[in-house]
Structure 1
Amino acid sequence: MTVRSTGTGPAGPTEAPARGLKEKAAEEFRRFLVLFVYLWVLFGVFALNQGIVMREQGIGWTWQGLAFVNALVFAKVMMLFEMVDPGRWLRRRPLIYPILYEAFLLTLMFLVVHVIETVIAGLVHGKTIGESLPSIGGGGLAGLLSVSVIVFLALTPFFAVRNLSFALGADTLVALLFKEPQDEGRR
């Protein structure tokens, strides 16, 4: 995960060297790819679980391709969400605030986009809006809350890493996560 320099960062003004269009496109593609893979795994596990439950009830198997398509759509939604950066006003507070706030907002956004996407697909296939509304989590308030909590919990680590990257700097976070400690006292 990289921290983009827009002239002002979470800790104040930053200076970034001018980059070419090719570099910017490559960076955006890498960010999209990371988001896509994260979401593909997440939605794939949801689809796998749903398929197992449905098979146990003799209903049949769900199509895993939906996880792929949803990951493509929602990765773009996440990139747009990051561009808007709705949690920036909380960055001077303890990190838990922007982490939970952004995970909550994106959970709501995912649910709204899912409903819109499903309704549009239903309308294209000749259904009414009422017939097209998805049955999230098996339907009802319990199903909606269940899926909402699962998505929220799945998004929280993403926003934890993102906000830690803002606070520590992307290079420091990568070093902490993936490099051997230099100080023998840390072991």
Structure 2
Amino acid sequence: MLLGLFTMHEEIALRTHGDIALWPHGFALVNALVLGKVALVVEDLQLGHRIKPTPLIWPIMLESLILAILFIAIHVLEQVIGGWIHGESLAASVPAIGGGGALGLLFSATSFFVAMLPFRAFRIIANAIGMGRVWRLLFGAPSAHP
């Protein structure tokens, strides 16, 4: 969903300059599925759990950083493999992340890092206090009456 939001923002920016492109939405959906799988694998590896669990901000930040780095690496890998399939050279298939250059890479990494913070925070806090308690806090206790 987040990649769809980023894509929608990109489309709004393109429309302000007269360019209309609807293809990024399909790409964002496929990318979201791939990155979702990466996030599940990272969660199974429990990379942030090597840090002491208190305070919880440290594993939240570490896992968000790991996911941001992996998401960018997976995106580059996807583009390189796609370029290889289409017969492009390695240099031609490496994407210009965030518009290119170190600044674009920094902006993209920061965006992914900040975007991952609430997702990782919710999961880590839910693990710490128990999913049942989180469910009751969000939706209330199940009523005893039908």
TM-score, structure 1 normalization: 0.71
| Mapped pair 1:103 → 2:67 | no
The match for 2:18 among 49, 58, 68 is 58
Deviation at 1:80, TM superposition (A): 0.9
Number of equivalent positions? 140
The match for 1:178 among 127, 139, 143 is 139
> Counterpart in 2 of 1:134?
95
Rounded to whole Å, the distance in 1 between the matches of 2:99 and 2:22 is 14
Rounded to whole Å, the distance in 1 between the matches of 2:53 and 2:113 is 23
Which of the pair has the greater relative contact order for Cα pairs under 8 Å at 6+ separation? 1
> Counterpart in 2 of 1:31?
none
Rounded to whole Å, the distance in 1 between the matches of 2:124 and 2:44 is 14
Letter in 2 for 1:90: I
CA contact (8 A) 1:52 1:61 kept: no
What is the correspondence of 1:14-29 to structure 2 with a 5 Å cutoff? Answer: none
Letter in 2 for 1:165: A
Letter in 2 for 1:103: S
CA RMSD of aligned residues (A): 1.4
Letter in 1 for 2:20: G
Rounded to whole Å, the distance in 2 between the matches of 1:48 and 1:86 is 32
CA contact (8 A) 2:14 2:20 kept: yes
TM-score, structure 2 normalization: 0.90
| Mapped pair 1:42 → 2:2 | yes
Percent identity among equivalent residues?
39
After TM superposition, the structure 1 stretch with the greater mean CA deviation from structure 2, 112-121 or 144-153, is 144-153
The 3-state SS of whatever aligns with 1:87 is helix
Gaps of 5+ in 2: 142-146
Deviation at 1:91, TM superposition (A): 4.2
Letter in 2 for 1:48: M
Which runs of structure 1 show a deviation greater than 3 angstroms over 4 or more consecutive aligned residues? none
Gaps of 5+ in 1: 1-40, 181-187
